[in-house]
Amino acid sequence: DFEFLFPFGWGELWGIADRTDFDLKAHQERSGEDLSYFDPETNEKYVPYVIEPSLGCDRIALALLVDAYDEENI
């Protein structure tokens, strides 16, 4: 994960969820359905998984704004 130190504390800018095949295996166990994939090129059967990145434009914009903001004591 990428985090930024905002004036109010640390906040996540980009989260990365690497849940491997946990979700599909859990659905498979509870539903009894076979959710595996057969690859005809390699003759392999496996349960696929993804890495899910989460990036929010609002988080980046807020980080840019608070980083650019400056107060001067005159």
- For residue 63, is it within any domain? yes
DSSP lists the bridge partners of residue 43 as none
- For residue 74, is it within any domain? no
- For residue 25, is it within any domain? yes
- For residue 24, is it within any domain? yes
What's the number of domains the chain is made of? 1
Question: How far is C-alpha 48 from the geometric centre of its chain's CA atoms?
Answer: 17
Our CA angle for 47, 50, 52, nearest 5°, is 155
What pLDDT is attached to residue 15? 85
- For residue 73, is it within any domain? no
What pLDDT is attached to residue 49? 83
What is the extent of the structural domain holding 35? Answer: 2-68
Whole-prediction pTM: 0.54
- For residue 58, is it within any domain? yes
- For residue 62, is it within any domain? yes
pLDDT tens track, the chain, 74 positions = 889 999 999 999 988 887 788 888 888 999 999 989 999 999 999 988 878 788 888 989 999 999 999 888 98
In sequence order, what are the residues at sequence separation of 6 or more whose Cβ sits closer than 8 angstroms to the Cβ of residue 59?
Answer: 4, 11, 12, 13, 14
- For residue 46, is it within any domain? yes
